[in-house]
Structure 1
Amino acid sequence: MQRARGSINRSAYAVLAVLVAVLATMLTTPTGQASTARTFPARHTSVPEGSGNEFVWPVSGWVAATRVYATGAHHQGSADIAAAHHTPVRPARSGRVEVTGWSQANGWYVRIDHGGLHGYTYRTRYAHLVTEPQVSPGDLVSDIYDGGTVLGYVGRTGTANMSGSHVHFGITRIDKSTGQARDVAVPG
């Protein structure tokens, strides 16, 4: 019984963290950043491994969770970014849309292939969009041109329906020589 109670407490804490983050994003400053101390850096800050990778944050908001889902399961190198409902989500780097769709867990989602860099291929994923993505497989997307391509809008679809509006953002690095994939830790 002790173990079950601990799981429930972790789950309740994770849900509470996302809800608090959503409330924090409702109280925005003139710059559009949430008014709490744990806001995300400016959109054009490199993440997560330094300037050589040149990824940018897909949305301004508050990092609500980086280690544990509301169910107690662990994040795999990703972050939940709480932001106001319908906030535009843009790619973390230019690339080609690999897949879009709907799943029970992710709700509406997009995955982008960013091609090669330093012997690796990078992919990013964006989940819990409020409606069907604004892009389709094969589309080229930009993180710079005209403010960046809008992939979709922050929502709470899939398993996010029990928490506040956020985008689930993750980066995967694939070694070109071995094909081995690993999720890159997203800071938060």
Structure 2
Amino acid sequence: MVAAPAIPGLFCCFAAVVLLVFACVSGNVWDRISFLDTVVNGRTIHFGVFGYTGIDRPVVGYNIQDAVGNAFQDGTLGTYALKSLTIVMILHPIAAVFAFVACLFGFCGAGFSRIGTILMSLCAALATLITLVVWVVDMSLWGIVRNRLRSGGFSAEYGNANWLVLGALVALLSGFCTAAFGSCFPMRRRTTVERV
């Protein structure tokens, strides 16, 4: 028996996994994907989940003031609050893991039983909540940094990772809704029709 109602939710959750993984490798790992792009003293800096371009190793939580160096003198980018918000960026891979677990349950729901679809909807709901928190933190953190850099006379633009996270949020919300809605329907049963 195939639980066809699980399939749309499975596709949505898989799309969210891909988008969140791309957002996780932003900044110092893959500089084409970033949360904020700025040019300071002729050097382009791409900020990501685990650091920024030019950093030697990935870190959880980093000082944005260190990235821009002495070019931004007032020190407002080195506050404890902004460093704490960069620590919250660790929720990106956590949301990706929960979305992946939702995909695994979706495979079980699509191939075996309704319980997989129900578990997929629960994992997708949790991943949706985490991704919502992550997206709000992203927009707050990078909005503050962007405004402070612009007020200091530097160029700063949002990167594409913000919109990848928003796309993942929409995909997870769709995956949760379709999985929850699909788990309410009876499963398809094969019926045999006797011909007379």
Question: Normalising by the residue count of structure 1, what TM-score does the alignment of the two structures yield?
Answer: 0.27
Larger Rg computed on CA atoms:
2
Which one has a larger percent helix, Structure 1 or Structure 2? Answer: 2
Which one has a larger percent strand, Structure 1 or Structure 2? Answer: 1
Higher relative contact order (CA 8 A, sep 6+): 2
Question: Normalising by the residue count of structure 2, what TM-score does the alignment of the two structures yield?
Answer: 0.27
